[in-house]
Amino acid sequence: MAGTVKDAILRGRKTIEDVVEGGLNTVETVVEAGLNTVDTVVDKGRQTVESAVSLGRRTVEQRFLHGGSTMRAAVLHGREDIRIEQVPVPEAKPGELIVQVGAALTCGTDLKVFRRGYHARMIVPPALFGHELAGTVVQAGEGVEGFAPGDRVVALNSAPCGVCYFCERGQENLCDDLLFNNGAYAEYIRIPERIVKKNTLRVPDHVPLEHAALTEPLACAVHGFVDSKPRAGDTVAVIGGGPLGLMILHVAALAGYQVIALVRHDGQVEAARQLGAAHVVQTTNIRKAIRDTRALTPKERGVDIAIEAVGVPEAWQEAVELVRKGGTVNFFGGCAADTKVTLDTNRIHYSDITLRATFHHTPAICREALALIAGGRFQAGAFITGHAHLYELNRVFEKLMNRSSEIKTAIVP
Ligand SMILES: [Zn+2]
Ligand SMILES: [Zn+2]
């Protein structure tokens, strides 16, 4: 009897254990299969949605770019005559990019062109206008390598040919066939194949597009400074408180040089100080500027390097008077055509003064300039003193002509 009861209990327990275990397995299998099914559904659903969104976006973009649609753009018609017009959205030919302009910056060169109505080498009206920009690629032409829609880029205003006498000697800024691009004051801009290949740079994520747009003028500034061959401990005088003068002084100060800024206008004094000038000489009297600057150097011997960034003959002559024996002068500012300067030959010869001039930039220096902007020490924000819509461009230039304290205005289309 005892045996039967014990048997029954054991068999009963076994049966229960079997049932429980079987049940557990079944439940686990069901749960797992169910999970898989749900995951697959979610995953499939997401893919479908994502591809629909991406396809839809591409379709819209394609339609926008190819559908003969128009965009707002500034067109230069002549002297002080910029009109905001509806023009066809450009379309990328093989090797080209279409960039949606994020920000375009005003520049002294554009101001000159606005005043004169043309620029012999860079722009002949009627023409799209503006050359300092950064934006987002919306279309890449056939065969473009390294760039795709969505990429944030800064496209420089020119690119050298790479095969002429000057390019082969590393003086690409003097290229016989420098290709210029204009049209930054617009919603979209076409980037020609040569600029895509040689002078279009990817903008790091943390750099705002309007800061990246400073790459072009900064490249000119870096070039001018480096070309002046500074030596450790040098004192550098920079004549001119315009955007380029301020950039050169900032570059020199960041590199650890003592900088004396020579400016005319009140607004430029504060900017020069903020950007690292050790001394600011403010005067419209050239004799006084020379005296005051020399007085800031030991035994009034003069500065080691003087960089002229105004672009008038009087300032070129002033620069020569600022340097010490054995000093270097860089005529950085371009003067109007057919102007001449008178220089004291004895002073230049017996004081062993080096005279040089720097024009434009090279692809290598453009890369250096963007790295400087991305590096964090360069005060990009200080150079952009205003924002305006494309429609306000005329007003912005009129204001710049009246020598306002604005450094650069970011034009946002
Ligand atoms: Zn410029
Ligand atoms: Zn060339």
pLDDT, tens digit, 9 for 90 and up, residues 251-272 = 999 999 999 999 999 989 999 9
DSSP, residue by residue, 19-62? HHHHHHHHHHHHHHHHHHHHHHHHHHHHHHHHHHHHHHHHHHHH
Judge whether residue 117 has pLDDT over 70: yes
- Residue bearing the bigger pLDDT, 98 or 36: 98
Going by pLDDT thresholds of 50, 70 and 90, the confidence category of residue 2 is low
What is the distance in A from the centroid of ligand 2 to the CA of 174? 7
- Positions of CATH 3.90.180.10 in the chain: 71-218+390-412
Looking at residue 8, what is its pLDDT?
81
Cα-to-centroid distance, 172 and ligand 2 (Å): 6
Within 8 A by CB and 6+ apart from 141, the residues are 92, 93, 94, 95, 96, 97, 193
Q: Which ligand is nearest to the CA of 109?
A: 1
Report the separation in Å between the CA atom of 108 and the middle of ligand 1, taken as the mean of its atom positions.
6
Cα→Cα distances 365→209, 288, 295, Å? 19, 35, 34
> What pLDDT is stored for residue 259 in this prediction?
98
Percent over 90 (pLDDT), the chain: 74
Chain-centre distance of CA 6, in angstroms? 90
C-alpha pair distances (Å), 200 with each of 154, 188, 316, 345, 367: 6, 15, 34, 44, 9
Catalogue the E-assigned strands of 125-164: 127-128, 132-140, 152-155, 158-159
Q: Which of 62, 61, 86 is nearest to 74 (CA)?
A: 86
Whose atoms come closest to the Cα of 362: which ligand? 2
Distance from Cα 385 to the centre of ligand 2, integer Å = 35
> Where residue 42 falls among pLDDT bands split at 50, 70, 90?
confident
Query: How many angstroms does the Cα of residue 170 sit away from the middle of ligand 1?
Result: 22
Structure-model confidence comparison of residues 46 and 223, the more confident one: 223
- The mean pLDDT value of the chain amounts to 91
74, β-bridge pairs: 84
Element (H, E) at 266: helix 266-274
CA of 342 to the centre of ligand 1 (A): 29
Q: Which fold has domain 229-356?
A: Rossmann fold (3.40.50)
Structure token pair of residue 396: 């912005």
Question: How much is the pLDDT for 209?
Answer: 98
Ligand 2 centre from 168 Cα, in Å? 7
pLDDT at 66 over 60: no
What mean pLDDT is predicted for residues 315-340?
96
> What is the rounded distance in angstroms from the CA atom of residue 7 to the CA atom of residue 298?
114
More confident residue, 249 or 46: 249
Is the domain spanning 71-218+390-412 CATH 1.10.10.10? The answer is: no
d(CA 239, CA 323): 12
Question: 3-class DSSP state for residue 153?
Answer: strand
C-alpha atoms less than 13 angstroms from C-alpha of 272 in its C-beta half-sphere: 27
Using the mean position of ligand 2's atoms as its centre, give its distance from the Cα of residue 95 in Å.
Answer: 19
Taking only the tens place, the pLDDT of each residue in 361-410 is: 999 999 999 999 999 999 999 999 999 999 999 999 988 888 767 899 99
C-alpha of residue 254 to centroid of ligand 2, in Å: 32
Indicate the range of 60-74, 116-130, 168-182, 229-243 predicted with least confidence.
Answer: 60-74
- What confidence tens digit (pLDDT) does each residue in 343-363 have? 999 999 999 999 999 999 999
For the CA of 214, the nearest ligand: 1
**Residue from 377, 329, 380 nearest 217 by CA:** 380
High-pLDDT (> 70) share of the chain, %: 93
pLDDT at 401 (0 to 100): 84
What separation in Å is there between the alpha carbon of 363 and the centre of ligand 2? 12
**Lowest-pLDDT range of 37-41, 54-58, 172-176:** 54-58
Closest to 103 in 3D by CA, of 386, 400, 397:
386
Question: Tokens in use for 184?
Answer: 């930054």
Question: Hey, how many other C-beta atoms are within 10 angstroms of the C-beta on 411?
Answer: 28
Q: 19-23, 40-44, 124-128, 361-365: lowest mean pLDDT where?
A: 40-44
> Minimum-distance ligand to the CA of 215?
1
Q: Is it the case that residue 291 has pLDDT exceeding 70?
A: yes
Ligand nearest, relative to CA of residue 182? 1
CA end-to-end distance (rounded Å), the chain: 99
Residue 398 CA to ligand 1 centre (angstroms): 17
pLDDT for the residue numbered 65? 55
Distance between Cα 318 and ligand 2 center (Å):
34
The distance from CA 246 to its chain's CA centroid, rounded to whole angstroms, is 16
For residue 153, CA distances in Å to 133, 191, 314, 336 come to 9, 11, 39, 33
- Locate CATH 3.40.50.720 in the chain: 229-356
Ligand that lies nearest to the alpha carbon of residue 383, given by its number in the listed order: 1
Question: Of the ligands numbered here, which is closest to the C-alpha atom of 119?
Answer: 1
Confidence label for 164 from pLDDT (cuts 50, 70 and 90): very high
pLDDT given at position 112: 87
Q: Exposed, middle or buried by CB within 10 Å (0-12, 13-18, 19+), for 187?
A: middle
Q: What is the pLDDT of residue 25?
A: 76
Distance 66 CA to ligand 1 centre (A): 31
Helix, strand, coil content of the chain in percent (nearest 5): 45, 25, 30
pLDDT number for residue 193: 98
Among the bound ligands, the one closest to the CA of 131? 1
